[in-house]
Amino acid sequence: MNLRASLAPLAFLLACTRAPSSNETVLTFSGSALGAEGTLVARQLKRFMQLNPGIRVELQRTPDDASQRHQLYVQWLNARVGNPSILQLDVVWTPEFAAAGWVLPLDKYGPEKSKFFPATITANTWAGQLYALPWFADVGLLYRRTDLVPNEPSSLEEIVADARREMARGGGPRYGIVFQGARYEGLITGFVEYLGAFGARIIDDSGNVVVNRPEAVRALEFMRDELYDSKVAPLEVLTWHEEEARFAFQNGNAVFMRNWPYPVAAMSDTAQSPVAGKFAVSPIPKSATAPNGHSTAALGGAQLAINAYTDHPAAAYKLIAYLTAPEQMLERAQAVGQYPTRFGLYTDPRLASAISIPMESARRAIESATPRPVTPIYTELSEILQIELHRALVRQAEPRDALDAAAAKINALIERTGMRKLMRARVAPPPQPPDTNGHGE
């Protein structure tokens, strides 16, 4: 057993069993201890402790799997447990936790809101207050085989055409495009991108449900046609999560893939990846047939929030401010390739070598990113939508009917929970076009 492994549990045990001495503040940080990320977190926490002698931070291992982590958080916060002091929230949890009173509003600590991408701040704002700091961003991206499709496609229709062409070629890949189509949250993230491409949304700025408008129906029809009409997407995708899609592309069986940034590292490894050096990443384009369509990406990532039951909120804020400071974000990009949420870093040359797609592409993607509806009832809303979308995609229902059913149920949900007023009061700004800092394309 190596030294670190034996020290960590010991340290944690000490943290659990000893009451903190009167001049020492103990914080617990919810995180993983796995691999490169674990090493990075330990390193950053250690530096923080050196800079803040009166504060000790212990790592409390929580599952990386979002669903399991959510379950544990709910259990602990419902019991008003103050540990972990800092929570790692998935991007759609912030309004839920804020409404439940489980995380503290941060505005009084003066966070630098204007330095982060607007979409990430919107996603973490509820009832006019900021409840979590964006830690790193995940965005949906289009992966393509550069040996088959050298140029970045400018529209969804072009993707389908390219895919068909390559699939028809003798010896071409068996799939055109692969994505996450199983009945889970990943399906919504993909759907949001098709929605944006056709100029549609789930909920508009006034809190109205617009997911059954004609543009949205067209988006869903387009998805379905990829499966049954042009057949560029295999039926299997309807059972796939991120990893299955990744392996399909990595093993050279697909022309295009929609996925988060995480596969880039593994797929660039020549030892295990047949497509190393033969792929490129770009933002997902809009549809050429929709007048209001725009290129967009689903916004994912993690945020850091303060447990409302902690005894040391001020110290906790110091820690999350530290972890979301530019230097730490850059270090994280270099160590594990996760995208910073501060747009200022995207002109820093050190970032270029850290993330394996061009900085410009990354910045464009995050800037055009769409948060999913920012509401405490998001999980229920998402579930309704997942079910109806999946029904349409397995041809148990027509897209129009499925989306009408979804809209009706979502409206009923909003009425039942009295969310309408709250959703109207808080307007979510639409995705901004590329920023005017001289590097726009």
Partner 1 sequence: MRKISRLGSEARLGWTLVAPALAVIALIAIFPLGWTFWESLHLHELRMPWLGKPFIGVANYVEIAKDPRFWAALGHTAFFTVVSISLELLIGLFLALAMNRVFRGRGFVRAAVLVPWAIPTVVAALLWRFIFESQGGIVNALMIKAGFLDQPMVWFIEASTAWVPVILADVWKTTPFVALLLLAGLQNIDLSLYEAAAVDGANAWWQLRHITLPLLKPAILVTLIFRTLDGFRVFDLIYVLTGGGPGTSTEPVALYTFNALLQNLRFGYGSALSVVIFVITFALAMLYVRGLGVRLGGDES
Partner 2 sequence: MKTVRTGSTRWGGWVFAGALILLMVFTLFPFYWAIVASFTSDAALFRDPSLWPQHLILDHYRALFIDRDFITPIRNSLIVAGTTTLFCLVVGTLAAYALARLEFRGKAPIMAFILAVTMFPQISIVSPLYLLLRSLHLIDTYPGLIMPYMTFAMPLTVWVLTGSIRQIPRDLEEAAHVDGASRRQSFTKILLPLAVPSLATTGILTFIYCWNEFLFALSFTLGPERQTVPVAIALFRGQYQVPWGEILAAAVIATAPVAAMVLVFQRRIVQGLTAGAVKG
Bridge partner residues of 89 (DSSP): 303
Task: Give which of 385, 431, 438, 426 is closest to 407, Cα–Cα.
Answer: 385
C-alpha angle 274-284-260 in degrees, rounded to nearest 5: 55
Q: How far is the CB of 244 from partner 1 (least distance, A)?
A: 8
Q: Which is nearer to partner 1, 237 or 323 (CB)?
A: 237
Among 157, 380, 398, 401, binds partner 1 (CB under 8 A): 380
Sign of CA dihedral 288, 440, 332, 374: negative
Instruction: Measure CA 293 to chain center.
Output: 21
Among 264, 387, 405, 408, binds partner 1 (CB under 8 A): 387
270 touches partner 2 (CB under 8 A)? no
Indicate the angle between helix axes 35-51 and 326-336, nearest 10 degrees: 160
Q: How far is the CB of 391 from partner 1 (least distance, A)?
A: 5
> Three-state DSSP class for 194?
helix
379 touches partner 1 (CB under 8 A)? yes
247 touches partner 2 (CB under 8 A)? yes
Q: How far is the CB of 2 from partner 2 (least distance, A)?
A: 7
264 touches partner 2 (CB under 8 A)? no
Q: How far is the CB of 61 from partner 2 (least distance, A)?
A: 6
Which two three-digit tokens encode residue 301? Answer: 């990532």
For residues 375 and 427, give the distance between their C-alpha atoms in angstroms, rounded to a whole number.
11
Q: Which is nearer to partner 2, 2 or 114 (CB)?
A: 2
Bridge partner residues of 306 (DSSP): 86
Q: How far is the CB of 247 from partner 2 (least distance, A)?
A: 4
Task: Give which of 158, 150, 108 is closest to 129, Cα–Cα.
Answer: 108
Strand 141-145 to strand 175-178: parallel, antiparallel, or no bridges (unpaired)? unpaired
Q: Which is nearer to partner 2, 30 or 287 (CB)?
A: 30
By a kind-dependent CB cut-off of 5 to 8 A, residue 79 interacts, out of partner 1, partner 2, none, with partner 2
Asked if 105 and 317 touch (Cβ cutoff 8 Å), the reply is no
By a kind-dependent CB cut-off of 5 to 8 A, residue 250 interacts, out of partner 1, partner 2, none, with partner 2
Which two three-digit tokens encode residue 20? Answer: 């903190």
Among 126, 260, 339, 378, binds partner 2 (CB under 8 A): 260
- The contact set with partner 2 (CB under 8 A) reads 1-2, 5, 8-9, 12-13, 16, 32, 34-35, 60-61, 63-66, 68, 71-72, 74-75, 78-79, 81, 241-244, 247-248, 250-251, 260, 262, 272-273
